[in-house]
Amino acid sequence: MAKIGDVARRAGVSTATVSRALSNPDSVRPETRKLVLDAVRELGYTPNAAARNLRAGRSRMLLTVVPLLSNSFFARIVSGIDQEASRRGYGTIISEESPDSVEKQAHLLDLAAAGLFDGVLLLSALMPRVGRRSLADMGMPLVRVCSRREPGAGAVLLEEREATLIQTRHLLGLGHRRFMYISGGAGNINDIPRYEGFCEAIAEAGLQPDQQIRVEGFFDFASGTAAAHRFLELRAEGRAPTAIVAVGDQMAIACMKGIQEAGLRIPEDVSIVGFDGIDFTNYCQPTLTTIVQPAEDMGAAAAGLLIDMLQGERDPGEIVFPATLRVAGSTGPAPAG
Amino acid sequence: MAKIGDVARRAGVSTATVSRALSNPDSVRPETRKLVLDAVRELGYTPNAAARNLRAGRSRMLLTVVPLLSNSFFARIVSGIDQEASRRGYGTIISEESPDSVEKQAHLLDLAAAGLFDGVLLLSALMPRVGRRSLADMGMPLVRVCSRREPGAGAVLLEEREATLIQTRHLLGLGHRRFMYISGGAGNINDIPRYEGFCEAIAEAGLQPDQQIRVEGFFDFASGTAAAHRFLELRAEGRAPTAIVAVGDQMAIACMKGIQEAGLRIPEDVSIVGFDGIDFTNYCQPTLTTIVQPAEDMGAAAAGLLIDMLQGERDPGEIVFPATLRVAGSTGPAPAG
DNA sequence: TTGAAAGCGTTACCAC
DNA sequence: GTGGTAACGCTTTCAA
């Protein structure tokens, strides 16, 4: 592997000049520059990252912590991050969250302390932590995606409250008056504004938010199945809702399936809206009306914000994306009666 | 940030001793070790990665190149890789493939030349390359996952041929005699053994492989929709198959949907089998009979193999996983007539 | 068993 | 505009 000294020798200049010619081309004479660049090309020279990082005190690497990679919503965010980071000369280290594995979190903190990455993108509200040490405490520049903003950190958010407001208004507009809300978990940070939006829409229509049914979910298929069971119980008792608001597509899709298996039709008997806009919403039966989050864009924006922060060009700010409703086959007029 | 010198001073020993106490504990006296470890703890010391990498000439980082992260099959492999890598003290750098972006591939080669990672996991048959330079040429240790083995590289594979053999036999056993095969693209490296398996099963049953219909796909939803259209055309001509073998779940699911929208029932009118075993196969309507690939396990095995190779403990070998068929609702007896 | 010191490859400061 | 050189933080050889 060619080193800077080899290039210098070949170009007949000093290592200092090679370094300058590469990192700040305007600071050397055009002829010298050409000499250096030719030598670089001929030798296929690339500066050693470790040496450069050691000297510069930074790594041009970002860490992305993701709750669950197999959830395609998160995967799409990561995709956007990778794209933007790569475009701006940064690499992306990835780590799947593991709230239960102290070992893995410790490994992460070690990597941070070791200076392996310059900043962190957190795709959840959790904070990698071991004992009282956490990434934030270490002064690591941080951008959260799709969760709460915290002091000193950047954030990329969706208009969460607006989103459920739109979802619910859509159903109200179709004449629905009895609702089931499948949450993202009582403690979930995103669920707070989402539930607010839901309640606000309900109240607008002159209904009582606390008389609607709320079921706790965790964004996974199983939660949707469980919600379907609850729905069927309610139906047996003669007090089933006619519309379901789910704050995650996977929950919505599993719920649809559970309901259909009991012989009910969607949207004739029940309407349901999802949240996220994953690809499968277009390929389930019926297609799912859902809130579309521009996942790739949000990822790219987050990476861009973080890199700006690292380069001192931007203070940790907040970027908010609008929520849009994509109306599809799973919602229809409330059944008569 | 505490450095090794700070620890040495605090422990009253030399930096050399600190280094030894940490990397090779048995080489220092127990009392000394305790002294050092206490100092480390008190100062919250972590060795600087750049300095260590520079000295050691390696980075304890792996690069994973993935074709499409939003495909949950790939995402699950990455998840397995991350898990195993992290367990063994390695970090994972991720990069989404971009055959068309020379820039991104160049960036990747630069990172490699810069020594940012010690080895590469390739989740596709493509090889990052710019002109005549490629990762393989640079002598980068390599493990391919789910694609062809190449000289000098390791590989983690599924019994591809066996997989389609099982798929197709299952349908033959249900009485089907006319098939449509949705491929992964004529040039796709995995499609070759898969199509062989299909043909072999067909031939076993005394049928003509070349009289079955083959449709080219690219593992995405759109391919499945296109295949459905083709199916409906054939049906209009009165020569529709009764069973469909798709070598990807997304294609299978989109195809099911296209067929159902034309008013046909699955599996009563047509049976269909998928390939991969993504979560959605359990939540589509009907559930999809499919080949289950143990994606997380394959990812973990690949990372393990690569790390063994890096540590000189294993030659680049081949690990083959068995394919299993998960029978679900999308396959049934061939329609009479 | 421990310490001193060289060296990993780069960058940036200070002279010229 | 360019070259010499110290320094980044660590590991490892060589001596003691």
* Mean pLDDT, range B124-152, rounded to an integer: 86
- Three-class DSSP labels, B42-61: HHCCCCCHHHHHHHHCCCCE
Q: Are residues B281 and B303 in the same domain?
A: no
Is residue B109 one of the residues assigned to a domain? yes
Give the nearest partner residue to B93 out of A53, A72, A91, using CB atoms. Answer: A91
Q: Which nucleotide is nearest to B36 (CA to C1')?
A: C2
Residue contact B93–A94, C-beta within 8 A? yes
Is residue B334 one of the residues assigned to a domain? no
User: The domain spanning residue A42 has which CATH number?
Assistant: 1.10.260.40
Residue contact A50–B50, C-beta within 8 A? yes
Q: Are residues B283 and B316 in the same domain?
A: no
Confidence check: pLDDT of B240 > 80: yes
% of chain B at pLDDT higher than 70: 100
| Least confident interval from A125-134, B138-147, B183-192 | A125-134
A155, A220 contact by CB (below 8 A): no
Radius of gyration, alpha carbons of chain B = 26
Give the nearest partner residue to B110 out of A46, A279, A282, using CB atoms. Answer: A46
* Mean pLDDT, range B120-131, rounded to an integer: 86
Count of CB atoms situated within 10 Å of the CB of A253: 28
When the pLDDT of each residue in chain A is averaged and rounded to a whole number, the result is 93
Q: Are residues A224 and A246 in the same domain?
A: yes
% of chain A at pLDDT higher than 90: 80
* Mean pLDDT, range A204-231, rounded to an integer: 96
Q: Which chain B residue has its CA at the smallest distance from A282's CA? A: B254
Residue contact B280–A285, C-beta within 8 A? no
Instruction: Kindly list the residues from chain A whose CB atom is less than 8 angstroms away from the CB atom of residue B135.
Output: none
Q: Which nucleotide is nearest to B20 (CA to C1')?
A: D11
Radius of gyration, alpha carbons of chain A = 26
In which band, very low, low, confident or very high, does the pLDDT at A337 lie, cut at 50, 70 and 90?
low
pLDDT of residue B124: 83
Residue contact B285–A285, C-beta within 8 A? yes
B293, B158 contact by CB (below 8 A): yes
Q: Are residues A96 and A201 in the same domain?
A: no
Gap from B17 CA to C3 C1', in Å? 8
What CA–CA distance (Å, rounded) separates B112 from B107? Answer: 9
Q: H-helix or E-strand containing B246? A: strand B243-246
B184, B146 contact by CB (below 8 A): no
Q: Are residues A175 and A285 in the same domain?
A: yes
Residue for token pair 């965010």 = A77
pLDDT of residue B133: 81
Nearest residue to A178 (alpha-carbon basis) of A143, A139, A205: A205
Nearest residue to B279 (alpha-carbon basis) of B299, B293, B265: B293
Strand D nucleotides within 7 Å of a protein CB: 1-5, 7-13
Residue contact B49–A284, C-beta within 8 A? no
Q: What is the pLDDT of residues B77-123, one digit of tens each?
A: 999 999 999 999 899 999 998 877 888 888 888 889 999 999 999 99
When the pLDDT of each residue in chain B is averaged and rounded to a whole number, the result is 93
How far, in Å, are A73, A122, B71 from residue A79 at the CA level?
A: 10, 14, 11
Is residue B328 one of the residues assigned to a domain? no
Q: Are residues B189 and B262 in the same domain?
A: yes
State how many domains chain A has. 3
Q: Which chain A residue has its CA at the smallest distance from B93's CA? A: A93
User: The domain spanning residue A269 has which CATH number?
Assistant: 3.40.50.2300
What CA–CA distance (Å, rounded) separates A55 from A58? Answer: 8
Is residue B172 one of the residues assigned to a domain? yes
Q: Is B311 exposed, middle or buried (0-12, 13-18, 19+ CB in 10 A)?
A: exposed
Is residue A326 one of the residues assigned to a domain? no
Residue contact B285–A284, C-beta within 8 A? yes
Q: Are residues B274 and B317 in the same domain?
A: no
User: Residue B218: what residue type?
Assistant: F
Q: Are residues B109 and B214 in the same domain?
A: no
Q: Are residues A257 and A288 in the same domain?
A: yes
Backbone phi and psi for residue B57, each to the nearest 5 degrees, phi listed first: 75, 20
Residue for token pair 């996991």 = B121
DSSP A275: E
pTM score, two decimals? 0.93
Is residue B300 one of the residues assigned to a domain? yes
Is residue B329 one of the residues assigned to a domain? no
In which band, very low, low, confident or very high, does the pLDDT at A101 lie, cut at 50, 70 and 90?
confident
Q: Are residues A234 and A115 in the same domain?
A: no
**If DSSP codes are grouped into helix, strand and coil, which group holds residue A242?**
coil
A9, A45 contact by CB (below 8 A): no
What CA–CA distance (Å, rounded) separates A11 from A40? Answer: 9
Chain centroid offset of residue B305 CA:
14
B51 touches strand C (CB under 7 A): yes
Q: What is the pLDDT of residues A157-182, one digit of tens each?
A: 999 999 999 999 999 999 999 999 99
Q: Are residues B27 and B108 in the same domain?
A: no
Is residue B327 one of the residues assigned to a domain? no
Per DSSP, the residues of B80-149 read: HHHHHHHHTT-EEEEEE--TT-HHHHHHHHHHHHTT--SEEEESSS---EETTEETTTTT--EEEESS--
**Domain of B88, in residue numbers:** 61-158+296-321
The interaxial angle of helices A30-43 and A4-11, nearest 10 deg, is 120
Chain A: closest CA distance from residue B62 (Å)? 9
Q: Which nucleotide is nearest to A1 (CA to C1')?
A: C9
Q: Which chain A residue has its CA at the smallest distance from B253's CA? A: A283
How far, in Å, are A224, B41, B170, B274 from residue B328 at the CA level?
A: 20, 55, 12, 10
Identify the residue among B283, B285, B287, B297 best suited for mutation to test binding to A, counting A beta carbons within 10 A and taking the highest.
B283
Q: Are residues A220 and A309 in the same domain?
A: no
Q: Which chain B residue has its CA at the smallest distance from A111's CA? A: B49
A68: Cβ contacts below 8 Å, ≥ 6 apart: A74, A96, A97
* Mean pLDDT, range A229-251, rounded to an integer: 96
How far, in Å, are A89, B99, B101, B142 from residue B130 at the CA level?
A: 17, 10, 10, 17
Residue nearest to nucleotide C3 (CA to C1'): B14
Residue contact A72–B76, C-beta within 8 A? no
Q: Which nucleotide is nearest to A11 (CA to C1')?
A: D2
Q: Decide which of A85 and A129 is more confident.
A: A85
pLDDT of residue A231: 98
DSSP B28: S
* Mean pLDDT, range A263-279, rounded to an integer: 96
Q: What is the pLDDT of residues A115-162, one digit of tens each?
A: 999 999 999 878 888 887 888 888 899 999 998 888 889 999 999 999
